[in-house]
């Protein structure tokens, strides 16, 4: 018998499949609203000007070589990355009780965080992680891979195309004490629906009361509002409240460094002594998994974060990206509501935040958009706002109008 005859054929990843179908389509007005990567107004990937500059600096730096980084990564990168998400004056940083490890982008941070919990977290019963319904599909796979069972908490309400706040709070209250909740720090993927600050405060209250653990995933800092600090608000608030937490950080979107795989895992234990023990175990885990992380992307981000002038330029680049996306939301909203008078309420298009928008259309309507108009999006009606631009937004609005009528 053949060695691998019992290996079942796995389905292709739905997002990568969508991109392949889009690429194969020869229709000139085709639109790709599937993938979560920024595109400029000409639908082209955008190398941030500050990244170009930093790349030049690295190229001219004769002192750099290709030696291994330390197991936990480039120290000047991880230290600056921690300040970026936790805030320069974070009590956790001041007290020296943060642990930061460089990871293979946000996915690697999620994995290392999950692996660490699977080994060391004192679960109340069988290991479980509470994930928002819906969430980034990979969350389910990442936790299952390390033997933590994903369970869902209510998050999105299809009736309001907004947050199911009551359901969310209810789930936090009903979960056994010391449960682990995964929270999207900002720009929730796939819905684009975030809690307000008042809602975050109430969420933090229940989490503190029930002694839950907050597993923050932050893949879009700066990309949501255009402001790095604003997008870090929830994480910083939780730290101030003394809630035990970790944060997974990605520089894929906000620095446009998708393929460079730059990220970090930050854990905030209660004191310095615990932080040392946590760091030692994260090093052991990292060593067996990737030995040490890649250097190039971390050097780029480190330059940008540690040089005030480059940091300022980066902020402007982030504003450019976030601003274009917010513009597209406004244009699409206007077209649907004022010009086309598309049936239904479309306020969510401008109320949602970040790369993605849940349009509220059903799988049949989504399919019709692809089949009739060559517009590619996931069946759940999620669109990547970055796929819209001044050239195709009208075509998209008209096509959407047709399928919902």
Distance CA 218, CA 341 (A): 36
Distance CA 96, CA 270 (A): 10
Tell me how far, at minimum, the Cβ of 174 lies from ligand PMP, in Å. Answer: 24
Contact by Cβ (8 Å): 254, 226: no
Tell me how far, at minimum, the Cβ of 341 lies from ligand PMP, in Å. Answer: 33
Residue window 13-42: x/- pattern of binding to ligand PMP, with contact defined by CB under 6 A:
-----------------------x------
Distance CA 153, CA 239 (A): 22
Tell me how far, at minimum, the Cβ of 78 lies from ligand PMP, in Å. Answer: 16
Residue 386 near ligand PMP by CB under 6 A: no
DSSP category for residue 69? P
Note if 144 is an active site residue: no
Q: Of 80 and 335, which has the nearer Cβ to ligand PMP?
A: 80
170 φ/ψ angles, rounded to the nearest 5 degrees: -60, -45
Residue 384 near ligand PMP by CB under 6 A: no
Task: State both tokens at 355.
Answer: 């790369």
Q: Of 168 and 346, which has the nearer Cβ to ligand PMP?
A: 168
Residue 215 near ligand PMP by CB under 6 A: no
Please tell me whether residue 308 adopts helix, strand or coil conformation: helix
Residue from 189, 221, 302, 370 in contact with ligand PMP (CB under 6 A): 189
Q: Of 101 and 403, which has the nearer Cβ to ligand PMP?
A: 101
Residue whose entry in the numeric block shows the structure tokens 């599937």: 34
Residue whose entry in the numeric block shows the structure tokens 């760091």: 279
Q: Of 111 and 324, which has the nearer Cβ to ligand PMP?
A: 111
Question: E strand or H helix at 266, and its extent?
Answer: strand 262-268
Which runs of consecutive H residues, i.e. helices, occur in 30-136?
49-59, 75-86, 91-94, 105-120
Distance CA 222, CA 240 (A): 20
Q: Of 223 and 346, which has the nearer Cβ to ligand PMP?
A: 223
Task: State both tokens at 44.
Answer: 């082209």
Task: State both tokens at 31.
Answer: 């639109």
- What does the radius of gyration of the chain's CA atoms come to, in whole angstroms? 22
Note if 253 is an active site residue: yes
Distance CA 229, CA 235 (A): 10
CA 11 to chain centre: 24
Catalytic position from the list 30, 53, 194, 253: 253
Residue 225 near ligand PMP by CB under 6 A: no
Tell me how far, at minimum, the Cβ of 361 lies from ligand PMP, in Å. Answer: 21
Binding residue count for ligand PMP, defined by CB under 6 A: 13
Residue 132 near ligand PMP by CB under 6 A: no
Q: Of 322 and 336, which has the nearer Cβ to ligand PMP?
A: 322
Residue from 72, 90, 100, 105 in contact with ligand PMP (CB under 6 A): 105
3-state SS record for 317-338: HHHHHHHHHHHHHHHHHHHHHH
Of residues 255 through 284, those in contact with ligand PMP by CB under 6 A are: 258, 263
- The distance in angstroms from the start CA to the end CA of the chain is 56
Residue 217 near ligand PMP by CB under 6 A: yes
Residue window 157-186: x/- pattern of binding to ligand PMP, with contact defined by CB under 6 A:
---------------------------x--
Tell me how far, at minimum, the Cβ of 103 lies from ligand PMP, in Å. Answer: 9
Tell me how far, at minimum, the Cβ of 147 lies from ligand PMP, in Å. Answer: 20
Q: Of 103 and 399, which has the nearer Cβ to ligand PMP?
A: 103
Residue 231 near ligand PMP by CB under 6 A: no
User: Could you give the C-alpha distances from 265 to 68, 102, 158, 206, in angstroms and in order?
Assistant: 19, 6, 32, 24
Residue 250 near ligand PMP by CB under 6 A: yes
Bridge partners of 151, per DSSP, are 130
List residues with catalytic annotation: 136, 217, 253
Q: Which residues bind ligand PMP (CB under 6 A)?
A: 36, 105-107, 136, 184, 189, 217, 219, 250, 252, 258, 263
């Amino acid at each position: 018998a053949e060695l691998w005859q019992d290996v079942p054929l796995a389905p292709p990843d739905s997002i990568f499949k969508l991109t392949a179908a889009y690429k194969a389509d020869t229709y000139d007005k085709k639109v790709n609203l599937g993938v979560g990567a920024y595109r400029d107004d000409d639908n082209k990937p955008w190398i941030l000007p500050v990244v170009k500059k930093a790349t030049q600096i690295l190229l001219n730096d004769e002192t750099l070589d290709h030696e291994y980084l330390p197991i936990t990564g480039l120290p000047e990168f991880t230290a600056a990355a921690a300040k970026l998400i936790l805030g320069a004056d974070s009590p956790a940083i001041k007290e020296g009780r943060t642990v930061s490890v460089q990871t293979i982008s946000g996915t690697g941070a999620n994995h290392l965080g999950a692996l660490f919990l699977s080994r060391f977290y004192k679960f109340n019963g069988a290991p479980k992680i509470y994930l928002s319904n819906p969430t980034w599909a990979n969350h389910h796979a990442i936790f299952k891979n390390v033997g933590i069972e994903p369970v869902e908490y209510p998050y999105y309400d299809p009736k309001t195309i907004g947050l199911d706040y009551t359901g969310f709070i209810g789930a936090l209250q009903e979960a056994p004490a010391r449960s682990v909740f995964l929270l999207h720090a900002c720009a929730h993927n796939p819905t684009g629906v975030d809690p307000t600050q008042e809602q975050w405060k109430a969420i933090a209250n229940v989490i503190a009361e029930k002694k839950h653990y907050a597993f923050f995933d932050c893949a879009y800092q700066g990309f949501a509002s255009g402001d790095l600090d604003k997008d870090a608000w929830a994480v910083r608030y939780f730290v101030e409240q003394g809630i035990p937490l970790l944060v997974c950080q990605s520089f894929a979107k906000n620095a446009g460094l998708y393929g460079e795989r730059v990220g970090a895992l930050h854990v905030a234990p209660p004191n310095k002594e615990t932080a040392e023990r946590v760091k030692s175990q994260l090093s052991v885990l990292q060593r067996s998994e990737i030995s040490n992380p890649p250097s190039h992307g971390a050097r780029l981000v480190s330059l940008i974060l540690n040089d005030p002038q480059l940091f300022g330029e980066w902020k402007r680049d982030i504003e450019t990206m976030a601003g274009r996306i917010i513009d597209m939301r406004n244009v699409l909203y206007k077209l649907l509501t004022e010009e086309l008078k598309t049936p239904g309420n479309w306020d969510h298009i401008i109320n949602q935040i970040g790369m993605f928008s849940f349009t509220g259309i059903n799988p049949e309507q989504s399919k019709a958009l692809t089949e009739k108009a060559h517009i590619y999006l996931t069946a759940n009606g999620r669109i990547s706002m970055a796929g819209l631009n001044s050239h195709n937004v009208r075509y998209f609005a008209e096509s959407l109008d047709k399928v919902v009528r």
